[in-house]
Amino acid sequence: MSETAYHLTVGEFKCIIFSDGCLADPGETFGLNCIYMEAGDRKILVDNGCGEAFQAGTAGQLLDNMESEGIGRGDIDTIIFDHGHIDHVCGTFNLKDEPVFPNARYIISQKEWDYIEAGPGDNETQNIFYAPARKYLVSLKDRFKLVADNHEILPGIKMVPSHGHTPGNAMVDITSGGERLLCIGDIIHSPKEFTEPEHCAAFDVNAAEAIKTRSGILSKAARDGTFVFATHFTFPGLGYIREKGGVLRWDAI
Ligand SMILES: [Zn+2]
């Protein structure tokens, strides 16, 4: 298996999971995966990774990995952001402050946009995490569609609220032809959080709400046998949540 591009289909949608590299946090490394979808004539990305400006040593490899599969940045017509954190939006601009995806329009939840515009106040960590969104995304506002919770982007592609990690955090729920893939974004960053719920709480705007959201969504995913895509798990971040004796675990494909 390629470590940078993983092909799959969800019903009629052709999808590729691309690695943007990884995030090196002191003491821990996280995957950074983006999903690309072809839906009819639409070419859609969820998130665009770190770009040139963040974690340049280990991440920012999305464009190269797309090109290896014959997909250019000009091909992308829609970019969905599950939230506004730096590792999800920083690929929007290059180091010359030019937009990287010339033909893209963007979708984000209205609640997340409101938080980006209002700013995280005196929360130092969130000010760092939201700096690129506040500096750059706002300048592209006329290219953004701001959507309510549970907005259906296209038939079979829906934004589902998962608030807590950030105020307007959303998952992308893909269903087609009787198949489903739930893109859970950052409701979990590390499988360690199954047994240590506060392991990554420093990343959350509202940790208590994030833990509650995670537990509810992942318990349901385990019960339903939902196929899951996790942004920060080891590439390609695809698998199932399993439950035994009240404890959840990750079962990678
Ligand atoms: Zn993230």
The domain that holds 83 is classified in CATH as 3.60.15.10
H-type helices in the chain, by residue range? 62-68, 86-89, 110-118, 124-135, 207-224
Helices (H) and strands (E) in the chain, counts: 5, 14
Q: Output the tens digit of pLDDT for each of the chain's 253 residues.
A: 568 999 999 999 999 999 999 998 878 899 999 999 999 999 999 999 999 999 998 999 999 999 999 999 999 999 999 999 999 999 999 999 999 999 999 999 999 999 999 999 999 999 999 999 999 999 999 999 999 999 999 999 999 999 999 999 999 999 999 999 999 999 999 999 999 999 999 999 999 999 999 999 999 999 999 999 999 999 999 999 999 999 999 999 9
Q: Tell me the CA distances in angstroms from 125 to 85, 86, 91, 97, 142, one per residue in order.
A: 11, 11, 20, 23, 28
pLDDT of residue 219: 97
Please give the model's pTM, rounded to 2 decimal places: 0.96
DSSP conformational letter for 149: T
Query: Is the Cβ–Cβ distance between 44 and 78 less than 8 Å?
Result: yes
In angstroms, the CA 40 to CA 33 distance is 23
Distance 202 CA to ligand 1 centre (A): 12
pLDDT of residue 215: 96
Per-residue tokens: 99: 């937009």
Number of domains in the chain: 1
Query: Is the Cβ–Cβ distance between 158 and 170 less than 8 Å?
Result: no
Burial category of 57 from C-beta neighbours within 10 Å (exposed 0-12, middle 13-18, buried 19 and up): exposed
User: Which structural domain, as residue segments, surrounds residue 51?
Assistant: 5-252
Distance 185 CA to ligand 1 centre (A): 7
Distance 155 CA to ligand 1 centre (A): 26
> Measured on CA atoms in the order 140, 62, 229, 28, is the torsion positive or negative?
negative
Distance 60 CA to ligand 1 centre (A): 13
Backbone angles phi, psi at 111, to 5 degrees: -65, -40
In angstroms, the CA 61 to CA 65 distance is 6
Distance 177 CA to ligand 1 centre (A): 29
Query: Is the Cβ–Cβ distance between 251 and 218 less than 8 Å?
Result: no
Distance 83 CA to ligand 1 centre (A): 8
Distance 186 CA to ligand 1 centre (A): 5
pLDDT of residue 26: 78
Distance 210 CA to ligand 1 centre (A): 13
Distance 59 CA to ligand 1 centre (A): 12
Distance 159 CA to ligand 1 centre (A): 17
Distance 232 CA to ligand 1 centre (A): 7
DSSP conformational letter for 4: S
Distance 235 CA to ligand 1 centre (A): 14
